[in-house]
Structure 1
Amino acid sequence: MLNGLSKNKAVIGIQNPVQMDDTNEPEPDISLLIYRTDFYASAHPVPVDVLAIIEVSDASIRFDEEVKLPLYASHGILEYWMIGLESNRIEVYTNPKEGTYTSIQRYLPGEEIPLMAQTLSVNEVLISD
Structure 2
Amino acid sequence: MTVSIAKWTLDDYHRMIEVGILCDRQVELLNGEIVEMSPEGAEHAQLSTDGGDYLRSLLGDKVLIRDAKPITIPETSSEPEPDLAIVQPLRELYRTRHPYPENIFWVIEYAFTSLGKDLDSKRKAYAKAGIPEYWVIDLKNRIIKVLRYPIDGNYSHEITLVDGEITPIAFPEITILVKKLLN
* Structures share fold, TM-score greater than 0.5: yes
Indicate which of 46, 71, 89 corresponds to 2:125: 71
Q: Structure 2, unaligned stretches of length 5 or more?
A: 1-53
Q: Is the 8 A contact 1:11 1:39 kept in 2?
A: no
What secondary structure sits across from 1:18 in the alignment? coil
Count of residue correspondences? 125
Q: Does 1:20 align with 2:73?
A: yes
State the match for 2:48 in structure 1: none
Cα separation, partners in 2 of 1:25 and 1:79, compared to 1, 3 Å: same
Q: Is the 8 A contact 1:108 1:122 kept in 2?
A: yes
Give the number of the structure whose residues are more often helix, by fraction: 2
What secondary structure sits across from 1:101 in the alignment? strand
Cα separation, partners in 2 of 1:39 and 1:6, compared to 1, 3 Å: farther
Q: Structure 1, unaligned stretches of length 5 or more?
A: none
State the match for 1:11 in structure 2: 64
Structure 2 counterparts to residues 15-94 of structure 1, below 5 A: 15-21=68-74, 23-38=77-92, 40-94=94-148
Cα separation, partners in 2 of 1:125 and 1:39, compared to 1, 3 Å: farther
Give the number of the structure whose residues are more often strand, by fraction: 1
Instruction: Please tell me the residue identity of whatever aligns with 2:88.
Output: I
**Alpha-carbon displacement from aligned partner over 1:81-104 (angstroms, at most 9, x marks no partner):** 000111111011110010010011
Larger Rg: 2
For the aligned residue pairs, the C-alpha RMSD in angstroms reads 1.3
Moved over 2 A (4+): none
